[in-house]
A and B are shown apart, each in its own frame.
Chain A
Amino acid sequence: MEQNRTNSRFGTLPREELAFLCEAVKDTPWRQVIENMDLPVLKQKQDWFINPRKGYPYRILPLVEKRLALDIGAGSGVISSTIAQDFSSVVAFDYLPELVTFMKKRFSEDGLKGIHLVRGDAVTLPFHEECFDLVIVNGVLEWVPDFVPKVNPCKAQIEFLTNVRALLRRKGMVGIAIENRLYYRHFQGMSPHGESSYTVILPRILTNLIRRLRKESQYRNYIYSYWGYRHLLKKAGYRNVQIYLVLPSYYDPHMIVSTQKRPSQAFFEEYFRDRFSENDETRFSKRVTYYLLNKMNLFRYLEHSFLITAEK
């Protein structure tokens, strides 16, 4: 199981780079290290460390109280840092010891005394029940099955969400940011986590059959459609499930759009009107297709990622 976890891609940075990073921040300010360190993946992922916008979706949530938040898979600590200004305390929780070391340095340098660090895995969540007002699951749910290789991925995710629900206070809320299975570019061959093309959109049985024929491991990093996530959260016992679009993606959120008809139609109407400006040579047929798709309010099901909130 340990092997499975360390091979997983949930760390964002390779373990070797993380080790270098931890060494470097010992005697240099963390921000300087991130901006100047010449490591191939780190250079590409600077944003993952420093973009505060990643935490903004959680700042707007309708929470009754803002005493204690839990950031599962806190990673670089950027979300915990951002939401720390709204909450009395935040628990940044991650599996990788290197990231915990990095966050410790980061929070201490930034003077964020309200953030506490805990190391552990998503399956055993070492917390008391009913103590959090908000639990953040940002880019984590799809990796949960990697922690329990013998369990069906969907079941593992439901069990994880059920455990998260138990940690919430009454009227507490879970906030999940994750990719959309039906993102239109997945139909053009793009894959969210480096899988082979069409892996995510084909029926799971067919995907696993193809992977078995190719002698590849079972597909486990399940993501779902708009309806799939609703179903998943209801199965885990949540109520008042709300789904928002995150644009362009939850990696760098610039917009959150409600999936209700009026705001989402108005948003996409403006979005496409600007894109197909008067002098644009966009084909008439394409414009009509977009217009009709928007009239049917279908774009809300086809964008890259969702922000999902649900109450206990």
Chain B
Amino acid sequence: MIEIISHLLKEISLLNEVSELPFYVSFNRNFNFFVFGNREEFYQVKVSSERPLREEYEALRIAHQAIPGNVPQPVGLYQKGGIEILICRGIRHKKVKSLQTQGHIIQEEIKAILKGSKVFFREEKPSLPHMQQLMTACDHFKNHPLWLAMRDWLGNLDPRLVNSLPHIKQHGDLTLYNMGVAGNKLIIFDWEDFGKISIPGFDLCCLAVNSVTRFSPVGIARVLERSAYPKEVMDIIACYCKELPLDQETFFNLYPIYLFYFLYLKNRYGYSPEIIKIGEKLLAAVLEKPVKC
């Protein structure tokens, strides 16, 4: 792999002649290389031998066109030696530890991005209404212990409420782990699940739940406690709901759908068993009783 990346980067003039590739790599679902090119630049080079990267590349292109300051710039998608390689320009950033600690930058940026997504990522001709999409996703879970509970819950839901929502492509994994701050800009990474879900509020729910529960076994209980939601999170929720428009109560009442989709994505697209378990616990928690007012 190292030699393929090295040749490719030299071929596209992002790297000078070097005897050893200057890199570090992290092993996630894909292999994520960070390669230090000419001068001060570095590149994120994602390599996959199993999962296609085409969708992620397209997502990055669309997202970068729409919100260029908040998304890493894609350089290209290449096929070399039987593997797919996606290259983006690297951005030096700080990780986002919580929505509360980084001043107002993050809140304002998130509000702006969510607001913008309504315009930029809106699907004019959705393939299926929301309710049908949900049912299709439900079929994926036929043998899952939560399947029946979810079907029951959906049975009691007025389909008109869900179907009346616009179709807005969601990032799909908008959590604190996929965010960084560079200067006064919020950078959003990992667009591999972009567009797989189009029900508005999904990204916001992921972010709020992640922020409140930290996806820890202890924190999961807090998903039901609205008083546990920090003011900053509630502000973002209020702002987005006003923008959509969507009643805040309805947003919270739709939690089972959001968290069902959360579990669906994790289950379907090869995430770790740990995060799948957390998804199951979150969904079980919200199916048992709705978010307290």
Contact = CB atoms under 8 A, between A and B. Distances in A.
A61 B27 contact: no
A97 interface: no
A291 B232 CA distance: 33
Nearest to A255: B26
A255 B95 CA distance: 17
Interface string A269-311: 0000110011100000000000000000000000000000000
A85 B94 contact: no
Interface string B1-12: 111001000000
A277 to B, nearest CB: 5
Interface of B: 1-3, 6, 20-27, 31, 34, 36, 42, 49, 94-95, 97, 101-102
A280 to B, nearest CB: 9
Interface stretch (A1-9, A111-119, A176-184, A260-268): A260-268
Contacts of A62: 1-3, 6, 21
A46 interface: no
Contacts of A86: 49
Contact of A264 (B24, B26, B49, B95): B24
Given A274-B94, A274-B95, A277-B97, A262 B3 contact: no
12 contacts: A60-B2, A61-B1, A62-B6, A63-B3, A254-B26, A255-B25, A258-B21, A260-B20, A263-B22, A263-B23, A278-B101, A279-B97
Nearest to B97: A277
Contact of B49 (A64, A85, A256, A278): A85
A56 B31 contact: yes
A241 to B, nearest CB: 11
Contacts of B25: 60, 255-256
Contacts of B31: 56, 59-60
Interface residues of A, number: 28
Contacts, number: 65
Contacts of A255: 24-27
A253 B24 CA distance: 12
B27 A254 contact: yes
Nearest to A86: B49
A59 B20 contact: no
Interface string A37-73: 0000000000000000100100111111000000000
Contacts of B2: 60-62
B78 to A, nearest CB: 17
A123 interface: no
A63 B23 CA distance: 17
Contacts of A260: 20, 22
B3 A266 contact: no
Contacts of A60: 1-2, 25, 31
Contacts of B95: 274, 277
A163 B257 CA distance: 61
A263 B34 contact: yes
A275 to B, nearest CB: 10
Given A263-B24, A267-B34, 18 more contacts: A60-B2, A62-B1, A62-B3, A242-B20, A254-B26, A256-B25, A256-B27, A258-B21, A258-B22, A258-B24, A260-B20, A263-B22, A263-B23, A263-B34, A266-B24, A267-B24, A274-B94, A277-B95
Contacts of A61: 1-2
Contacts of A59: 1, 31
B97 A56 contact: no
Contacts of A256: 24-25, 27
B69 to A, nearest CB: 21
Given A62-B6, A253-B27, A263 B36 contact: yes
Contacts of A273: 94
B34 A53 contact: no
A121 B215 CA distance: 46
Interface in A214-262: 242, 253-258, 260, 262
